[in-house]
Structure 1
Amino acid sequence: MSQRLKGRRPSASLIVALLALFVALDGPATAARLVNGSSIKSNSITNRQVKNGTLGKQDLSKSALTYLRTTPAKSVGANQLRDGAVGGKALAGKAVDASKLADGAVGNTQLAGKSVDAAKLADGSVGTAQLASDAVTSSKVTAGAIGTDAIADGALLTRDLGDFTGTVRTKFNPFLPNTCQVTILTAAQLTPSVPGSNPQIADDVVSVSPTTSGWPDPVVVVANPGAGNTLRIVACRIGDDPENPGAELVVPETVFQYVAFDT
């Protein structure tokens, strides 16, 4: 009986089971020894083969890390910035130029108070396309921050410079030789450059000019501040008409443009 057991061959199913056990126990270790970088074909591993969250910085080249840390030009807009996120400490010297800002990206809510000074602006970097409407108020800019180099040519309009700016339609009576007439704009008629503000015109330098074509050259127009925050537009006819002495000079109803600069 014992001799028959010793001479019996293992069955095929037993051999298959033993092979399966060997592969299960030693297969991964064997694969780790046999499969390395030289065994993998170039560009054969894609994102499908890489388990999510398994790659770390140590697995990336220096050039890949540099690329990932670089912000593409024009990529940061108003939607990407938290209100008040950009402050003076967050900006390197001369860091902001036109190539870094999408059109209209920087609005009033994106700038922290006093965050913009001359050191943060590249020369010629701020133009009308880079600023959203009403983006820059006095609270956003430090004293003396904006110089000629920081402002793009043609970026400033009259309303950006004066305390008051606007237009008024006036009809003067006919002028006799060497006579003057005055029209007065009350405080309610004046338009402040900053809506809701209450600037005073008393110490301002005022400029006014007629916009209507055909305004007669002999009638000179000037303006000066009046009492009670009013504006006086003074029109004077200088001299007489030698061909028709003493005759009245009729002027058309005219739209005057005015601007008052704070001194």
Structure 2
Amino acid sequence: MHSFHQFSETGKQGISEIVLHVLNAEFNTNHATTEPFLDELRRGKRVPFKQYRDSMVQLEQVLAKELQKNGKLEGVYGIEFPVNVRIAHAVPPKDYLKLVDATDYLHCDPWAGEPTDSINVFSYLHTEEGCPQLQLFESIRANPAAVAYNGGYRDAPIEKEKLEEIDVPLRTDFLLVFDSFSPHRTFRKGNGVRMSVDFRLKAGDPYADISESWMRDRIPLGKYWYLPAQGASTFDERVSTELNTLAETFGTESRELKARKDYIEKFFELA
């Protein structure tokens, strides 16, 4: 229930250019490659990628095209937006491992509240010797106890010795797609730094269940939008397309449209 998909040359180049643009904007530089930023990142520098909303829309476009090309959007209605671009360091942040849902612990995302019909997508963006890696195991969706569990990762009912590990190459030329009930964790070793992108697809309609979980502070289900229309390059275009689709599908006074507007106002600080 997992698959590897080689990036196209245009897809790989597009992702590299977007990441480089954000790094240059954040550091107020004009470097031609990401290499000059690595020492700063190794020292613990964090980059708020999601604040660069237009870039996140453009990144979503590239990733969606790669998934579409490989047939991975068939039967999929929703996507987590914006995607997560993460910088993982050799040492976790202070007190991070005290959290019950620290990703260094083996886990499945639905245990923390992600939808059970979600599908994980992951890709390394930068790797080096001694950098944190993704450790991944075959899906345990057939295990009723694993599917029913809802709680912290540290105390999850999982026996690692019974799991079948998947070899995830430490390369930046592929997308990895896997079932949300595939146990995984961040495995830290050495002194290197890693950049990666991850997000989730949703098989069902993201607007099918608008409840208190839609706007909750931790893992709000309102973060799942419809798949992006081709061609959007700005955050305003992404929002406009989503709102127009909802108005046409459910009506201008619908709870679906109101829920999306409320979500945008809360999480993107827009009026």
TM-score (norm 2): 0.20
Tell me which of the two structures has the higher relative contact order, counting C-alpha pairs closer than 8 angstroms and 6 or more residues apart: 2
Q: Which has the higher helix share?
A: 2
TM-score (norm 1): 0.20
Q: Who wins on radius of gyration, i.e. which is larger?
A: 1
